[in-house]
Chains A and B, each alone.
Chain A
């Protein structure tokens, strides 16, 4: 039997606001445990939540990027349950009226664009972090109350690859819009997947299995592919697919059962009466949208349309926000867009790969790289020399001009009268080559350039030289 996977994703994104969603404690990752807590974060009696405006602005940005309709009144609810990581015994969330509803995003699959529907986006708060030991558990309240948005897709993905692309796109949006680090490894972007399969063509849904604990984008695809195959095998063997929660084990590349899931969890939702509904003015919503930094798609289009980059180079630049930011900064110092893109995508990228660092830790500033690119553009140095200079800059942490000087590279001669003399001297010496050129023998030109370079020991500007040569040939 041929099966069709049905995949829906719930993605939790930690917002990198300055303070927590409902308290004034700062938000930060990796600080000393239990040092970033306001009384509310530990649920001390009598504390009250106050809504973090920045968190709302960030949520609106993402809603807008996902083409969602944005509710102009903020409503919060309580989700009630007992758990050791839940300080208040309830989570403040948005049940009845999520800030965003009915949106979509588009992914590319085999050159085709596919639209994935998004059901809702709501604001909530994170729990505290637990560290389990055999005999005890430690609780770290630094994370408690960190703003989260939860993005719930419709069950419209049909393969692990589609799911992975969807997650990549969400990640790109939250990172480019400046609302999150989007790091799956650190848990600032968490993906829960709901996977079921059904006979191809069927309209019914199969039994849904939730797969959690997927902590890298690559694993999204792997975990889902494994889960789809597992379910297909069960059905083919005539065994039932259990409604359960499983976790992904990346070492074994398999999903492992955690617990059976029943529908009976009742969160007893009811309105959060400590926060009265908040009217969001059109102006507030518009400002939130307008203040959003440029997203990957728009940047890519700009690079192609305005900078003349090809799709490949532009896509590479926007595959990571920091890289595109680096490029944008460099373009303030040099308008040689293609050269800049090329240097970043090739030479800088290979340095980063070799040293396993991110562009944020790249030793050269965008301005320094642009300095080198300017030399290349002006043909002061040839490409081999430029690579030597690049290496020297990284080695000595110096600007391009200093590196060039240290390497003893003298600038190419761009003096037009000097070049003209050399060109004419060579033409005088090689009348046959002129005849060959006029007869359309292409290699004659290369021969002449070679002779000129030889005469000048290769120190003259090759571009100027070839321009000049063509000009002088015309006169003859």
Chain B
């Protein structure tokens, strides 16, 4: 009944007592139960009802009061099973809430479920979790990906079940599925939102991500989540902006860069047309569009650099999962046997492959040629991005080469279309920049998006320009009505 509604719309209904948080939670839970996209790891029915029942006095100044949301299952939730869609964590019930979960609970938002992901957030397809593929709600034939790794959160938001969802973003794990699911997908500046309780994939790249169906909602949630948290010593003490209040003010930063090599790597004509149309409109809104260039070898190195660094970090970050402290208990007469059985059984093949690659890159004899070289190249990539952002306020590009691919599609992993157009969002992770994807069009009834990136801690202006772009496209608050039992 309340599906597809935005935070602001629901807030109005709640404050005017046209609906109660409990009714909203129950409604969302009903929709969640009918989900056919394989988007939920766990529906927090009793938990949500308990929380929502206590919310009786509407808080007019608290936009998140009583608002239902979902959590990617790689965030720690106290007393609620958390598996990161990996068998190695089956049965694991954390003893603490992640900082973002705690903040949303404190803001009296109502968590209604934990969502699927690519196993341990490693992957971009939404097919590698232990429950199998998560489907794109826009594709009733259930053949298209929703993208990953935050597949479940993207699918739940795109199906209109909740107005916003928590994701995470290490390479593009929030912003890419947002493009495939017609959503706003936002990743903040690295260190802007506490990572305490987010299962680490590659901490130097990891950020919390936010899905919503309009830019304003993303700004509202970001404002609540941002800020220093002493439990994450990397979190920033930089003051948090008034993202929501200032979003409708005109953006006074007007220089937008388009990296032409990346744009040109996109071959899909509809995507390019829609993108170019928005560019023309932005010009009309007073933005200055500057075509800039990045060296081809730098662009071609994005994916390999990302892969080496992220796998190297991942192998260490997931070394705690050894079957001893949590997760299914394994047999063995020595600790090596116990650990080895737990890890052999617990991890999927793709994960093991990444661990082997990461380990290989850190080995004494390879470290210099792989890990350290990748670190140095990251520096070089970041220098390129920062050079662009010296004279430009934003970088604007298509978020993905095309609409969501089919699960059976295979891409040529050595093509520019794959290496550049499909992987350029990682620039934001390398440089730790705020970055947002929002829908700009449809093709074959499937949405696709564009991405804006800004300088570190310039979330306020990034939301402003995104808000203007949303006015231009008119693609706010869209959702897929299909995909229900």
A interface list, Cβ under 8 A from B: 39, 42-51, 78, 80, 82-84, 87-90, 137, 139, 266, 268-270, 273-276
Top 8 nearest A-B pairs (CB, nearest first) are: A89-B319, A84-B335, A43-B320, A268-B362, A273-B204, A46-B197, A45-B199, A273-B203
- Is the pair A276, B96 in contact by a Cβ cutoff of 8 Å? no
B 51-77 to A, binary, CB cutoff 8 A, 1 in contact else 0: 000000000000000000000001110
**Complex Cα spacing A15 to B472, Å:** 61
Residues of A within 8 A of B326 (CB): 42, 44
Q: Which residue of A lies closest to B336 (CB)?
A: A82
CB–CB B371/A48 < 8 A: no
Asked, given contacts A84-B335, A268-B362, A276-B234, whether A44 binds B95 with beta carbons under 8 Å apart, the answer is yes
Q: A83-B335, A274-B233 in contact; A45/B76 too (CB < 8 A)?
A: yes
- Residues of B that sit less than 8 Å from A by CB: 74-76, 82, 84, 89, 92, 94-96, 98, 195-200, 202-204, 230-234, 312-313, 315-316, 318-322, 324-326, 335-336, 338-339, 359, 362-364, 367, 371
Q: 24 A–B contact pairs at CB < 8 A?
A: A39-B94, A39-B96, A44-B94, A44-B95, A45-B74, A45-B199, A45-B321, A46-B74, A46-B76, A46-B98, A46-B199, A48-B231, A78-B316, A80-B315, A80-B319, A82-B319, A82-B339, A84-B324, A84-B335, A84-B338, A90-B316, A268-B364, A273-B203, A274-B200
B322 touching A89, Cβ below 8 Å: yes
Give the residues in chain A near B75, CB-CB below 8 Å.
46
Cβ contact within 8 Å between B84 and A45: yes
In angstroms, how far is the closest chain B Cβ from the Cβ of A280? 15
* CB-defined contacts of B363 to chain A, threshold 8 Å: 266, 268
| Residues of the B chain whose Cβ atoms lie less than 8 Å from the Cβ of A80 | 315-316, 319, 362
By a CB distance below 8 angstroms, the chain B residues around A269 are 362
A47 to B338 alpha-carbon distance, docked (Å): 23
CB proximity of B120 to chain A, nearest CB, Å: 9
Which residues of B sit under 8 angstroms from A88, Cβ to Cβ?
319-320
The distance in angstroms between the C-alpha atoms of A44 and B325, with both chains bound, is: 8
A residues less than 8 Å from B230 (CB atoms): 50
Contact of B322 among A48, A82, A266 (CB under 8 A): A82
A-chain residues with CB within 8 Å of residue B367 when the two chains form the complex: 268, 270
* The one of B233, B325, B336 that contacts A42, using a Cβ cutoff of 8 Å: B325
Give the tally of cross-chain contacts (CB within 8 A): 107
Q: Given contact pairs A43-B325, A48-B232, A273-B234, enumerate 10 new A-B contacts (beta carbons under 8 Å).
A: A45-B82, A49-B233, A50-B230, A88-B319, A89-B320, A268-B362, A270-B313, A273-B203, A273-B204, A275-B233
B319 near A273 with CB under 8 A, answer: no
The residues of A that contact B338 with a CB separation of less than 8 Å are 84
Interface contact A46-B196, CB-CB below 8 Å = yes
A47 to B325, CA, bound (A): 14
Q: A residues within 8 A CB of B362? A: 80, 268-270
Query: What is the CB-to-nearest-CB distance from B236 to chain A, in angstroms, rounded to a whole number?
Result: 10
**Contact present for B196 and A268 (CB under 8 Å):** no
Evaluate whether A275 and B234 lie within 8 angstroms (CB atoms) in the complex, with A44-B96, A270-B362 already known: yes
Q: Please, how many angstroms separate the alpha-carbon atoms of A49 and B199 in the complex?
A: 13
Residues of B contacting A84 in the complex (Cβ-Cβ under 8 angstroms): 324, 335, 338-339
B203 CB contacts on chain A under 8 angstroms: 273-274
Report B-chain residues with C-beta under 8 Å of the C-beta of A276.
233-234
Q: What is the CB-to-nearest-CB distance from B42 to chain A, in angstroms, rounded to a whole number? A: 16
Give chain B residues whose Cβ lies under 8 Å from the Cβ of A50.
Answer: 230-231, 233
Q: Is the CB of B95 within 8 A of A48?
A: no
Of the residues A83, A87, A90, A266, contact of B325 by C-beta under 8 Å: A87
Q: How far is the CA of A275 from the CA of B203 in the complex (A)?
A: 10
Chain B positions within 8 Å of A48 at CB level: 195-196, 231-234
CA distance A139 to B94 in the complex (A): 20
Q: How far is the CB of B44 from chain A (nearest CB, A)?
A: 18
A269 to B315, CA, bound (A): 12
Q: Which residues of B contact A45 (CB under 8 A)?
A: 74, 76, 82, 84, 89, 92, 94, 199-200, 320-321
A275: chain B residues at CB < 8 Å are 233-234
